[in-house]
Amino acid sequence: METLVPDSRQRPQTMPPPSAYTIATGYIPGSIGRIAELHGTYYHAHWDFGLFFEAKVATELSMFLQRYDTRRDGLWTVMLNGRVEGAVVIDGLNARTEGAHLRWFIVSDALRGQGAGRQLLETAIAFCRQKQYGRIFLWTFKGLEAARHLYESLGFKLVHQQEGTQWGSAVSEQRFELDKIYLKRK
């Protein structure tokens, strides 16, 4: 049951103001599990993804963090009341040859629609500009319209689409890129 704050707007206490969240940089204890949980619960509820997907997120994120190098990689989490409520990663391992890989972007229901996702992506793009990476790419799939709108509003373009099962279910996989021309403009 929600408790209402006694003011004219009647804001539920379960809905914090957007200014209540912060963006943290780097690894935070518990973030691997929480990022995997956010992915697992969201994609199970909306796309019926199961154990394969959640385990893939947890395993690959763990492997990434084992080789995490702040000189080339970035990890940002949205924190709300001491809890991870969103994340994005830049994997810069092959950034000079293939482009920086934007991965594990997610925002919880607690902050969805409040600008936290845009702030995460803008932070990741700014990091790539500072590192002078020539391209940022990400893999997603058809049907995630809110995310696609956000990517495109920041300059990403759909460059490839194919049927695939890299997430454990058959989907129309999409590759988006933000190229160096756009990166240099801002």
Q: Which residues contact 66 (CB under 8 A, 6 or more apart)?
A: none
For residues 174 and 161, what is the distance between their CA atoms, to the nearest angstrom? 4
- Token pair of 130 as six digits: 């500072």
Residue 178 lies in a domain: yes
β 83-91/100-107 pair status: antiparallel
Q: When comparing pLDDT for 185 and 93, which is higher?
A: 93
For residues 84 and 39, what is the distance between their CA atoms, to the nearest angstrom? 12
| pLDDT for residue 169 | 77
Residue 4 lies in a domain: no
Residue 47 lies in a domain: yes
Residue 69 lies in a domain: yes
| pLDDT for residue 1 | 35
pLDDT, tens only, 70-111: 999 999 999 999 999 999 999 999 999 999 999 999 999 999
| pLDDT for residue 121 | 97
pLDDT band at 123 (very low <50, low <70, confident <90, very high): very high
| pLDDT for residue 185 | 55
Residue 8 has pLDDT above 50, yes or no: no
Q: Is the dihedral of CA 177, 172, 38, 17 positive or negative?
A: positive
Q: When comparing pLDDT for 4 and 73, which is higher?
A: 73
Q: Which residues contact 2 (CB under 8 A, 6 or more apart)?
A: 12, 13, 14
The answer to whether residues 160 and 116 touch, using CB atoms and an 8 Å cutoff, is no
Residue 110 is part of which domain span?
20-185
pLDDT, tens only, 12-61: 445 555 558 999 999 999 999 999 999 999 999 999 999 999 999 999 99
Residue 14 lies in a domain: no
pLDDT band at 183 (very low <50, low <70, confident <90, very high): low
| Residue of 98, 36, 27 whose CA lies nearest to 65 | 27
Ramachandran class of 165: left when φ > 0, alpha when ψ lies in -120 to 50, beta otherwise: alpha
pLDDT, tens only, 128-168: 999 999 999 999 999 999 999 999 999 999 999 999 887 67
Residue 62 has pLDDT above 50, yes or no: yes
pTM of the model: 0.85
Number of domains in the chain: 1
pLDDT band at 186 (very low <50, low <70, confident <90, very high): low
The answer to whether residues 58 and 65 touch, using CB atoms and an 8 Å cutoff, is no
| pLDDT for residue 170 | 83
Residue 9 lies in a domain: no
For the chain, how many helices (H) and strands (E)? 5, 7
In CATH, what number is assigned to the domain containing residue 24?
3.40.630.30
Residue 65 has pLDDT above 50, yes or no: yes
Residue 12 lies in a domain: no
